[in-house]
Amino acid sequence: MTLKNSFSSGSETTYNWNAMFSMLPSTSLNVSISEVLIYAFEALQIYYVHDSSALPAGPTIMSNINLALVDGTHPSAIDWSAAMDSSEGFGVEILSNSSTNGAVKIIYSDSVNV
């Protein structure tokens, strides 16, 4: 998410954010909210899958995750955590907790050990 601008009206401040996958402008999403975002999520949503046999045979790797602060600097370290859904056959592994080249791996399996 990138903070595009903010404005105040009375005691309330509205922050205008934009999220987009790198090099994919069609994924651009503008969000206006009254809170400063101090957290980030990397997620993959899957629709219309009724059992694990319809999931990919190998993992999905999300890489080159770049998190920057409003002033353009990058946090020195990020405390990544993984949310598991072993009942559905998903597992997540943190490959890199870097703020300039983060990476996570999503594992699909009937027997994910989490």
Tell me, yes or no, whether 87 and 52 share the same domain.
yes
Taking 60 as the threshold, does the pLDDT of residue 113 lie above it?
no
Cβ-Cβ contacts under 8 Å for 11 (sequence gap 6 or more):
none
Which tokens go with 4?
Answer: 């595009």
Pair (64, 108) in one structural domain? yes
pLDDT digits (tens, 9 = 90+) for 35-76: 887 777 777 777 787 777 777 788 889 998 888 877 888 888
Q: What is the pTM of this model?
A: 0.62
The β-bridge partners of 32 are: 16
Whether residues 50 and 103 share a domain: the answer is yes
- Residue matched to tokens 């009206």: 9
Sorting pLDDT into bands at 50, 70 and 90, what band is 12?
A: very high
Number of domains in the chain: 2
* Better pLDDT: 54 or 111: 54
Domain that holds residue 24: 1-38
| Adjacency order of strands within the sheet including 12-19 | 2-9, 12-19, 29-33
Q: Is the pLDDT score of 111 beyond 70?
A: no
6/28 same-domain check: yes
Mean pLDDT across 7-35: 88
